[in-house]
Structures are given as C-alpha cells and as structure tokens.
Structure 1
C-alpha cells in the first residue's frame, strides 16, 4: 500500500507539504464541501425557516408541506448558488489551510499535545474560511426566507450592497465564527482522534496496511462522529445568525433574548443533526477519495 501510494505521488509529481499538495487539499475541500452542501439545499431551506418562524415550521414533514404549498416546489432549491459557491469557497480554505496550519503548528509546538495542534490549526483555518463564506451566507439566507428580496447570487449581491454597503455582507461574521469555530475545532479534532482510535483499537492495523475500502470506511465512521458532535455545540450560533440576517434581532444579545436561552440550544437541533452528520461524512469521504486518487 505504501509503495502504491509513493508510485501515485511520483506519477502525479506531488510532494507532501509542497504548494501543489496544499492546492490539491484545497481543491478537494472545495469540491467536497460545495457539492455536499448543494445536495442538501432543501433541508437547509427548511432549517432556516424553522429558525426564523418556529411556530409555523415546527416539524420536518409539515414544514416541507407548507413550503411546497405556499411557495411551490422550486422554493426548496432557493439559495442553491449561495450554498454551492459559498461553502465551496469555505471548504477550500478550511481543508487546505488546515493541512498547512497543522504542519506549521506541529513544528512550533514540538512536544505539545496533538489535541492542541488540532484545535489551533482548525481554528486558524476556519477564521479565514468564514471570511470567504460570510458574503454568500448573507445573501443565501435572505434569498431563502425573503422571496421578494432576490432570486439568487446574481441579483442578490448587488441588491444587498446597494441597501447596506459592504458591511451588509459581514453583518453576521462574529456569530458565524461563534458557530463555525467550535464546530470546526471539534470536527477536526474528533475526526483525527476517531481515525487513530479505529485503527489502533478496532482494526488493529496501520493505515498503510489497510485496503482503500477499509481506509475510506474509517473515514466515514470518523466523519459522522465528528459531524454529530460539532453540530451540537454550533447550534446556538446557527440560530443567532438566522435571527440577525432576517432582522428578527439587531445584535447577538437581542437575538439570544428573543429566541430564549434553552431554545437557542435546541431549536432546529434534530434537523441539523440529520443534516450535518451525513454532509460532514460525505465531505470527508469525497475529500479522502481525492487524496487517495492522487496518492496522498
């Protein structure tokens, strides 16, 4: 397995931790995140409506029925361009920069606990990734919940800029960091430790001794665990973002008060777990498939 991987790297001209290596990781993250988020657009549309209007959209099945009845089937795909391009940009930055920062911090924090390296690497990457995502997210949420605002990115971006200027695109950057930083830190750390645990305790073989199918199986199990755990801690930030972008509140404090302290942790949580767990699993699967195909 090791010789095969080395042969693939030689054929592709890739060297680990080279600029080309990070470029492949970034492209892999962009494709995996963009396509998986695009696929679950209908669930995301319902999730945002449940956050903004929990009385009307209080369950998954009835929520879909109301959306289709009142706004038509096409409403389920509203905001797809923001999902695809926004999360593609975020995924490229997040996965590519995580690999870069992990290498950098490993050299800086020699002798320190690996968990610390995973935490600071994922946090550093996510800060930059969310700066890339935030403008797309601002337009996407408005498109999904305010049909009269715009049809998509093409008309939504200039309209938002005309109404609110550049600051309108980054109105939710701090809640976005509040949601995605803990999510990313737990996601990457849980994934890394889960992979290590599965190889050591369950499979009891080194990664390079396993078949590609076994390696990708480990990726899927660890990916789902990382997504589920990250979802629980990021739900409050997700609810606050939806409230801010839909003018239900003007600041974070007001958003927390309007939603209610217990509900900020539970509103839309079952749907988010159902939504994010498989999405994160597929992201890791696609991402590792690309790395396997390039011998990485």
Structure 2
C-alpha cells in the first residue's frame, strides 16, 4: 500500500470513528441541550432547571427533550467526524514539523500545538455546526410544532428560512459560533490530549489503546468540563443571537456586543450562566462517552 493510500485509509477510519462518537454524543446529550437552550433563550418561562424539566414533561412528554434531534443526529455525526479527522491531520502536521527540527520526541506536542490542533478542528466543524445548532435551537424553543408560525421540522425550517432570508438566514450567528469553536475546541482537545499523553508516559507506552477505556472516559469528561467552564458565556450569547428575530427592526440585539451589554444590564453576570448547571451535568457523561466511543471504534478497525 502506497503512502497516499495509507493516509486516505487512516483518514477514513478517523471519519468513521468520529461519526460513531458523534451519534453517541447526540443520543446522550440532547435532553440536556434542550433544557440548556430553553433556559438560555426563554428565561421568563422557567424558574430553573428542575422547573424546565417538569414543564417540558407535562406539556410535551419525554419526546419534548428530543425536539430538533434528527438534524444533529445526522449532522453532529458529520461534525465530530470532521473534528477528529482535522485534529489528527493537524497533529500529524505538527509531528512532521517537530521531526524536521530534530526534536528528540516529535510526537510529543507542546500545549500550543495541542491547542491549535483543537482550534483547527473547531473552525472546520463550525461550518456545519453553525446551521445545525441554529435549526436545533429554533426547534427546541417551540412548545408545539403545530402552532401558527412554527416549523414542522428541520426540512421545513431550512426551506422557509432559505426562501425568506437566504444563506445568511441559515448561518445566523455564525461569527459567534466560530469564536466559540476556535477557543472551545482548542481547550477541549488540548485537555484530552495532554491527559492522554501524561497517562501514556506513566504507562511507558506509545499506544493509545493501552490506556484503559474508563480512563479515556474520565479524560473526555474533564475535557468537556474545561470547555464549558471557559466558553459557556459565549455559547449563551450564540443561542440568544441565533434565536433572535430574522427581521432587523424586530431584533432584541443589534449584534454580539449589544447582546453582551443588554444581558449584563438586565441580569448581570448570572445572565450569561443560565442553564450552566444543566450543561455541566451533561458535559461529563456526554464527552466521556464520545471519546471512549471514538477510541474504541479506532481500536476495532485498526
């Protein structure tokens, strides 16, 4: 097998394993995400996380937590595939760069290299995650899909928004999405890769598969906690902008800075942290299982 064929084969494996990780991520995290988005965008309707859960079950049943899940189930699988494949490709670039500098252990990346590898994966991911999260957020805040003006589902959303507002409407809130993805995934993957590298040094191994699955799960959980601890306020602003009116004259916020000013003036710092507890409860299991599923799939197809 030629070098190019080996590279293509490795990329295909990373894409497939990432897809598996993405599906696991959506199935485990969608209920938490629905509660988070509702608390972020509809603060007057819910007192807290428990109240949101109760009202959702009473009004919509358990299926209410999975509103808008079809799009991310398909799309997040693609997103996570892109995340991991771009991450690994960027890591290989830095390893090659280290080798050209005669570094003693080229595969030992610096924290900066780990961060930039994660950031590259986040920016690539943002091209898909922007519209996917936009439609999911819009559907999540709908109490019922049969009320006037509501979207029947993701296809109806894309058709109507594209016909009325074009591509800019689909990509509403894209700038703040890129900000979150660049910083968030830089922190996310740097945390995971640093913990994995440390454990591999302790075990004196060069094989990631030698690290126990439960440890990979714990490292993934830590990565999720790190990401959301730092980036949650940015995500809150993103949700507010994405669910704001499409019509300029009817919008609550003129832009990112205006949104920050108004949220702070109305609710103070805590206005940026509505739904934070729900997100942190979600962060551990969802990201832990995502990394464990990815690493397990890579072991099986190696």
TM band (smaller chain): 0.7 to 0.9
Q: Distance in 2 between matches of 1:196 and 1:108?
A: 18
* Post-superposition CA distance 1:18-39 (Å, at most 9, x none): 1110111011112211332133
The answer on 1:283 being equivalent to 2:283 is: no
Alignment of 1:45-194 (within 5 A): 45-108=34-97, 110=101, 111=103, 114-146=110-142, 147=145, 148=147, 149-194=150-195
- Residues 242-268 of structure 1: per-residue CA shift (max 9 Å, x gap): 101221424111221232251254222
Deviations 1:93-128 (A, max 9, x none): 110111111111332354596212212221112111
Residues 211, 132 of structure 1: CA spacing in aligned structure 2 closer, same or farther, 3 A cutoff? Answer: closer
Q: Which residue of 2 aligns with 1:4?
A: none
1:228 equivalent to 2:225? Answer yes
Question: Counterparts of 1:17 and 1:105 in 2: how far apart (Å)?
Answer: 19
Q: Larger deviation: 233-242 or 174-183?
A: 174-183
Q: CA 1:22–1:68 in structure 2 vs 1: closer, same or farther (change >3 Å)? A: same
* CA shift digits 1:52-77 (9 cap, x unpaired): 12243232221111122234443221
- Which residue number corresponds to residue 206 of structure 1? 205
Q: Tell me the TM-score normalised to structure 1 length.
A: 0.86
Bigger mean CA offset, 37-46 vs 106-115: 106-115
Answer whether contact 1:32 1:284 (CA < 8 A) is retained.
Answer: yes
Question: What stretches of structure 1 of length at least 5 have no aligned partner?
Answer: 1-9
> 5+ unaligned residues in a row in structure 2: which ranges?
245-251
Deviations along 1:177-209, whole A, 9 cap, x unmatched?
A: 2222222111111111111223444xx44254x
Aligned-partner Cα distance in 2 for 1:17–1:180 = 29
Alignment of 1:244-255 (within 5 A): 244-247=241-244, 248-255=252-259
Which residue matches 2:249?
none
Alignment deviations for residues 212-232 of structure 1 (CA, whole Å, 9 cap, x no partner): 6x5312211211111111111
Q: 1:120 to 1:211 in 2, by over 3 A?
A: closer
Comparing 112-121 and 219-228, the one that deviates more? 112-121
Distance 1:211 1:176, change over 3 A: closer
Counting only pairs closer than 5 Å after superposition, residues 6-45 of structure 1 correspond to structure 2 as 18-45=7-34
Query: Aligned-pair distance for 1:88?
Result: 1.4
1:151 Cα shift?
A: 2.8
How many residue pairs end up in the alignment? 280
Distance 2:241 2:294 in 1: 32
- Contact residue 40 and residue 275 of structure 1 kept, 8 A: yes
Is the contact between residue 207 and residue 215 of structure 1 (CA under 8 Å) also seen in structure 2? no
Given the superposition, is the C-alpha separation of residues 251 and 211 from structure 1 closer, same or farther in structure 2, using an over 3 Å criterion? Answer: closer
CA 106–61 in structure 1, closer or farther in 2 if over 3 Å, else same: same
1:3 is aligned to: none
Task: Check if 1:293 corresponds to 2:300.
Answer: yes
